[in-house]
């Protein structure tokens, strides 16, 4: 039904973004927030990559930087061989058609003054995708594809529930037939039962349309279900990267282990037995020297205090940025 | 797996019910409507020609023939008052309209673009705002010369900065909303985003202020006319009528009192309307 | 008290109603729960289940206009809280029964220092000087492990991170040594590693202070971590009540089952999630029989006609509001 372009994947290399807070013409000295530092990953066609981490880790910034909703300071973003950072004007618009975003908050992702029809048709108009009739049909098809009744198309967002609005947001992202979807916590604001509906919807779309996903989330359960591969982020860096189930079952980075162990699981026999969970995430304006996790790390010693560990292959399929990764036996 | 077809119930209550329940809104509306009708139908309502001089009956107190008395040239005060309404309303409305269009545009663009541009624009606006309205109007009117057109321009200029301010704040918060980011992700240009996505979501804030500031514009007009920088004679304006009344206060109290009352009532009507609008818009319907 | 284990809090047939349009509609219907001393009872449900309304009803915190307790009793310390005047209630709140909320930023007064707020609670409910109250406040801050408590006691809420603020709120709640702590989604807004810390701490404090905790959440994982007993709520009713091991080992009510099947887990891979079709009925459109019947795969004709009662399943302490499933369990 749709042409599968070979190698139309996303490749991100050394992505960096810092924010200056304060300052300005007449302000005090600006503070630099090192939100994203030297991030590299790939999302091959038709796969899904999870970006997990807690607040301040930079995952949302990465998601937006990939789409140039925030302009990266350094690094490269290449989609289907095209340099996203260098594109401008109509080339950028053409790229925008192929890479779309779904947001977290269903109550803020739709313009309250526009009907659903207007919201779905607008991108088609802007990109000149056919006649009036074609566009109307496309919008209605998108509604059906996300499981919403067609007659709802002329209503306003406030007439829908959170889960339904999220579907509309997805429909809007689909209307231009994108190849990559960046999903920023798409189900975090939804109840469990609705969350499952939306996850299944996205799963179905992925299979039918061959979509790639960059899936940002803080929920390890959701990520395990949806993502083939996983990047764990901490204070603007990737600390571990690999196949999702492997990373979660056999974490190598102490932070991944902490994250995994802290995530509550619906099994009373698997209660948290952590005795010492120390500290909180430091401010991204003032990261600790050396490995940024060392103040909270039970394994910190020697080089951890002064040398930033590089993200390197520990096995064929796993990258870890740690001087002393957890010693888990990995089957060959 | 089809989703449910049932939708959440529609939003209860609307802007209108919020207004309709506010008694002061009705008072303001009725008053303003009356003034507008009077102004529009002035030639039909006014008993005498406002420009017709008749020295014989100069400075007559209110009587059956001249309900509000006559002025120093024997002209009927009531008729002049009625025609004066036209000037006041016209100037007030047009000045605010121009100020709103220009000011809101500046505010939205500054708010959306942000950064140094925004800081620069805000700096300029702050300079403008630091001038007392009347002084600013006076300077501009003096530079341009006294005429109806220049009066409107002068007053419009004084009101641009407030509109820009009022438009900028909601723009900045709307800019953060996901649906604006979605627009950018979908390839919409800044003009479309500002015009279609940001403007309709904040225009009510701006319109509410316009009603209140129209009162201010009318007062400025009266003040400028009082000084003599307004519409040149013999066109009757409330401000110049007060000025004449001021000069003849001992001979004819009615010359100063009635135009003052007219301004009072008009400004009151606009303020009541504006307050009611602001109360209705304010927080209830804000976060949907 | 003649019963062997006198309940700390005994809710009987509570009915809380909201005014919608012209009519009063129940958000909580015929709810009966008892909280034993020193136990953690979790109330779990999705939006619209009535779980938060239950907590607010206990403390008389419902909005003045448009909400009321229509029927039932809330028995505490020999009195019915539902019948108390506002003045009498205010002497119970923060004193014998304390509550902590989801958003610590909005529950803490931004214009008062943290120390002042905790001391305020002490001064209001107990006799003693301000000096003594501040000393106690310091002790409490240390107890909830706020680092550098001596200096931080003079800081304002905005100077604390989310996790720290939540601990401040816990300190405030504990100030008067309450018998019962109501916790309404206290960790939902926190990062998962911080959540783990706060939950562990709550448990320790509960033991130390000898409190009962009524913990409201939508997250079954959290429930498994901290609860002794669990009440599952749907559409304003308790549909299943059991101790935590039983609930997860043998979920009997179809809704509980469905929730567990819809929840993706961090520790297990799953091919598909089973979403729950449909949605919660609106308060104004509650079906005549079982509220869950329209979405239930086990429904029978009688389910739609007759409202089921809570009845014991295999053992007496496991109550389920579903005759169909009880029968299946018993015969299994």
SS3 C89: helix
Tell me if chain C has a CB within 8 Å of the CB of B4.
Answer: yes
Residues in chain B closer than 8 A to A25 (CB atoms):
116, 119
Q: What is the DSSP letter of B76?
A: B
Contact A183, A48 (CB under 8 A): no
Neighbours of A186 (CB within 10 A): 30
Contact B11 A159 (CB under 8 A): yes
pLDDT tens per residue, chain C (332 residues)?
A: 334 457 889 999 999 999 988 889 999 999 999 999 999 999 999 988 999 999 999 999 998 888 999 999 999 988 999 989 888 898 888 889 999 998 877 888 989 999 999 998 888 888 778 899 999 999 999 988 888 889 999 999 988 888 888 999 999 999 888 999 999 999 988 889 889 888 988 999 999 989 999 999 999 999 999 999 999 999 999 999 999 999 999 999 999 999 999 999 998 888 788 888 888 888 888 999 999 999 999 989 989 898 999 999 888 899 999 999 888 877 77
CA distance A59 to A267: 29
Residue B77 falls in which region: left (phi positive, over 0), alpha (psi -120 to 50) or beta: alpha
Q: Residue B142 contacts by C-beta under 8 Å, 6 or more apart in sequence?
A: B229
Distance from CA of A97 to the nearest CA of B (A): 7
CA distance C208 to B128: 64
Q: Residue A331 contacts by C-beta under 8 Å, 6 or more apart in sequence?
A: none
Neighbours of A136 (CB within 10 A): 16
Contact A159 B7 (CB under 8 A): yes
Q: Does residue B234 have a cis bond before it (omega within 30 degrees)?
A: yes
Contact B116 A200 (CB under 8 A): no
Sign of the dihedral through C-alpha B124, B125, B126, B127: positive
Name the residue among C227, C260, C273 with its Cβ closest to that of A199. Answer: C273
β pairing state of C180-184 and C212-217? parallel
pLDDT tens readout for residues B131-189: 888 888 888 888 888 788 888 898 899 899 999 999 999 999 999 899 999 999 998 99
Only one residue has tokens 């102490």, namely A254
pLDDT tens readout for residues C112-155: 999 999 998 888 888 778 899 999 999 999 988 888 889 999 99
pTM: 0.85
Among C23, C46, C40, smallest CA distance to C234 is for: C46
Show which subunits contact A, needing at least 3 CB pairs below 8 angstroms.
Answer: B, C
Residues of C at the B interface, defined by Cβ within 8 angstroms: 21, 275, 277-279, 282, 284
- Minimum CA–CA partner of C265 in chain A: A221
Name the residue among C161, C259, C262 with its Cβ closest to that of A280. Answer: C161
CA distance C49 to C281: 10
Tell me if chain B has a CB within 8 Å of the CB of A286.
Answer: no
């Amino acid at each position: 039904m749709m042409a599968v372009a070979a190698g139309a994947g996303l490749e991100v290399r050394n992505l960096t973004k810092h924010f200056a807070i304060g300052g300005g013409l007449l302000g005090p000295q600006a503070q630099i927030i090192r939100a994203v530092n030297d991030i590299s990953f790939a999302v091959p066609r038709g796969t899904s990559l999870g970006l997990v981490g807690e607040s301040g880790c930079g995952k949302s910034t990465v998601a937006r930087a990939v789409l140039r909703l925030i302009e990266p300071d350094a690094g490269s973003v290449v989609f289907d061989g095209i340099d996203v950072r260098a594109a401008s004007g109509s080339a950028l618009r053409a790229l925008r058609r192929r890479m779309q975003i779904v947001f977290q908050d269903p109550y803020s992702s739709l313009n309250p003054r526009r009907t659903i029809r207007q919201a779905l048709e607008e991108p088609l108009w802007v990109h000149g995708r056919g006649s009036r009739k074609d566009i109307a049909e496309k919008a209605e098809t998108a509604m059906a594809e996300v499981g919403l009744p067609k007659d709802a198309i002329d209503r306003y967002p406030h007439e829908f529930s959170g889960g339904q609005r999220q579907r509309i947001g997805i429909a809007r992202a689909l209307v231009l037939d994108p190849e990559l979807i960046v999903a920023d916590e798409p189900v975090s604001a939804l109840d469990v039962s609705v969350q499952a509906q939306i996850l299944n919807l996205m799963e179905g779309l992925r299979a039918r349309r061959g979509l790639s996903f960059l899936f940002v989330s803080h929920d390890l359960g959701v990520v395990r279900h949806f993502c083939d591969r996983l990047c764990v982020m901490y204070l603007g860096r990737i600390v571990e990267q690999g196949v999702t189930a492997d990373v979660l079952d056999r974490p190598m980075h102490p932070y991944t282990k902490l994250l995994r162990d802290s995530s509550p699981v619906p099994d009373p026999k698997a209660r948290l037995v952590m005795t010492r969970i120390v500290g909180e995430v430091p401010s991204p304006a003032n990261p600790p020297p050396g490995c940024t996790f060392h103040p909270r790390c039970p394994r910190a010693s020697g080089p951890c205090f002064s040398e930033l560990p590089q993200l390197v292959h520990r096995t064929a399929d796993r990258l870890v940025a740690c001087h002393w990764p957890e010693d888990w036996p990995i089957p060959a | 797996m089809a989703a449910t077809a049932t939708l959440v119930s529609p939003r209860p209550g609307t802007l209108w019910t919020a207004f309709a329940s506010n008694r002061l809104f009705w008072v303001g509306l009725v008053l303003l409507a009356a003034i507008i009708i009077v102004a529009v139908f002035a030639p039909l309502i006014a008993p005498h020609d406002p420009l017709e001089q008749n020295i014989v009956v100069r400075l007559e107190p209110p009587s059956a023939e001249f309900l509000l008395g006559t002025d120093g040239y024997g002209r009927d005060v009531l008729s002049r008052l009625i025609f004066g309404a036209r000037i006041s309303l016209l100037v007030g409305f047009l000045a605010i309209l121009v100020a709103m269009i220009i000011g809101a545009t500046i505010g939205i663009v500054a708010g959306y673009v942000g950064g140094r541009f925004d800081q620069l624009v805000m700096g300029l606006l702050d300079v403008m705002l630091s001038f007392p309205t009347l002084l600013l109007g006076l300077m501009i009117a003096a530079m341009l010369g006294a005429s109806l057109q220049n009066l409107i321009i002068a007053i419009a200029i004084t009101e641009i900065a407030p509109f820009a301010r009022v438009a900028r704040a909601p723009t900045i918060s709307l800019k953060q909303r996901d649906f604006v980011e979605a627009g950018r992700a979908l390839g919409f240009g800044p003009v479309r985003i500002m015009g279609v996505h940001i403007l309709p979501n904040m225009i009510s804030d701006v319109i509410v202020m316009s009603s209140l500031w129209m009162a201010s514009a009318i007062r400025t007009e009266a003040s400028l006319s009082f000084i003599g920088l307004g519409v040149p004679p013999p066109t009757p304006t409330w401000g110049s009528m007060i000025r004449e009344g001021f000069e003849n206060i001992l001979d004819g109290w009615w010359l100063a009192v009635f135009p003052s009352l007219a301004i009072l009532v008009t400004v009151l009507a606009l303020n009541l309307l504006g307050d009611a609008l602001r109360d209705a818009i304010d927080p209830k319907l804000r976060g949907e | 008290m003649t019963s062997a284990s006198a309940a700390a809090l005994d809710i009987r047939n509570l009915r809380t109603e909201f005014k919608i349009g012209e009519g009063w509609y129940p958000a909580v219907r015929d709810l009966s729960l008892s909280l034993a001393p020193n136990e953690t009872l979790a109330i779990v449900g999705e939006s619209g289940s009535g779980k938060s309304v239950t907590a607010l009803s206990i403390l008389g915190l419902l909005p003045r206009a448009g909400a009321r307790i229509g029927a039932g009793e809330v028995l505490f310390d020999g009195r019915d809280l539902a019948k108390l005047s506002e003045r009498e209630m205010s002497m119970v709140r923060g004193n014998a029964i304390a509550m902590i909320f989801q958003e610590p930023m909005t529950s803490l007064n931004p214009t008062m220092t943290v120390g002042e707020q905790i001391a305020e609670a002490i001064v209001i409910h107990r006799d003693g000087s301000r000096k003594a109250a501040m000393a106690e406040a310091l002790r409490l801050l240390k107890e909830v492990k706020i680092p550098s408590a001596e200096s931080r006691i003079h800081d304002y809420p905005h100077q604390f991170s989310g996790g720290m603020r939540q601990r401040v709120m816990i300190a405030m709640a504990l100030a008067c040594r309450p018998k019962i702590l109501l916790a309404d989604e206290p960790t939902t807004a926190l990062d998962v590693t911080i959540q783990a810390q706060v939950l562990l701490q709550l448990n320790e404090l509960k033991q130390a202070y000898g409190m009962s905790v009524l913990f409201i959440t939508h997250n079954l994982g959290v429930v498994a971590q901290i609860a002794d007993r669990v009440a599952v709520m749907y559409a304003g009713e308790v549909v299943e009540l059991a101790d935590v091991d039983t609930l997860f080992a043998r979920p009997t009510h179809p809704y509980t089952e469905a929730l567990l099947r819809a929840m993706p887990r961090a520790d297990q891979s799953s091919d598909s999630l089973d979403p729950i079709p449909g949605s919660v009925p609106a308060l104004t459109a509650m079906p005549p029989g079982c509220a869950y019947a329209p979405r239930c795969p086990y429904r029978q004709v009688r389910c739609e006609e007759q409202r089921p009662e809570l009845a014991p399943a295999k053992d007496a302490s496991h109550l389920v509001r579903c005759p169909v499933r009880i029968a299946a369990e018993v015969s299994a």
